[in-house]
Amino acid sequence: MSNSFQPIEFHFLTLFPEIFPPALHSSLIGKAQKQGLVSFHFTQIRDFAKDKHKRVDDTPYGGGEGMLLRADVLHAAWKSVLPKPTKSARTLLLSPQGKILTQERARKLLKYKKIILVCGHYEGVDERFIDRCVDEEVSIGDYVLTGGELPALVLADVVTRLIPGVVGNERSLSEDSLERGLLKYPQFTRPRDFDGVEPPAVLLSGDHRAIAKWRSEQMLTRTKKKRPDLFRALKKK
C-alpha cells in the first residue's frame, strides 16, 4: 500500500442495510477491511423519518405512478454522515439516469476519503435532494432494478479492488479487461488436454516475447468481435 493512500470510507444510505454485509465481508473486500484499507458504514434512511409511522416516501406532485423518496428525510440522513461539506467527500446517487460506471470513473473515486452512496427506491428521489446534495449520478447499466443497493455494492467492489494493496498481484490489475479500453486475452490452465483440445501452442512454448505478442493481438481481436463499441472508441483516441 502506498504511504500516501488514505483509507476510504463507504457510507451507504439505504432502506435495506441487511443486504450488504454478506457481500462486503467476503473475499478480497473482506480482507481489505481487515487490512484497514476500506471501511463500510450503513445509514438506515427510515431512522430519519419525521412522523410516527416512519414514512420515507410520498406521492409525486402533479400526479403519476409510484412513490418518491422525500427530500427532507434523505437530507437528514445525508447530513448525519456529512455534517459539513468537504472536498474529500463525494456523494453518488445510484440511478438509471446516471453516467455508466466504468473502470476510468471508478479509478477517479480513489482520491476521495469518504464516498456516500445513496440507494434510491420506489419510483425515484425528490429532485431537490439531488440538486442540493448529489455530486454525481451513476448507473451500472441501461436497465431498472428495484433499488440502488445492488448497484451500490457493485460500485464499492469495483473501487475497492483498485485500492493499492487489495489485489495481491497488482500487475494483474493492469491486465484486467477494460483497463486499457480492451478486453482481456483468452486464458487457459490445467489440464493440458480437455476433451481433446489443448491450449494454443504459443502459450506452451516458453517464448515470453511471442506470448506477449499473441496476447496483445488477441486483446484487439476479442475486443473487435465482442465489444465493437469499445474498439471504435479505441480507434478514435
Annotated catalytic residues are 96, 123, 161, 176
Q: What is the rounded end-to-end Cα distance, in angstroms, of the chain?
A: 32
Q: For the residues of the chain, what is the DSSP string, one character each?
A: --TTPPPEEEEEEES-GGGSHHHHTSHHHHHHHHTTSEEEEEEEGGGG--STT---EEPPTT--SS-EE-HHHHHHHHHHH-SS--TTEEEEEEEEEEEEP-HHHHHHGGG-SEEEEEE-BTTEE-HHHHHHH-SEEEESSSS--SBSHHHHHHHHHHHHTTSTTTSSSTHHHHTSTTTTSSPPPP---S-S-BTTB---GGGGS--HHHHHHHHHHHHHHHHHHH-HHHHHHHHH-
CA–CA separation, 79 and 191 (whole Å): 56
Q: What are phi and psi of 176, to 5 degrees?
A: -60, 155
Please state, in angstroms and as integers, the Cα–Cα distance from residue 180 to each residue in 118, 219, 220, following that order. Answer: 29, 10, 11
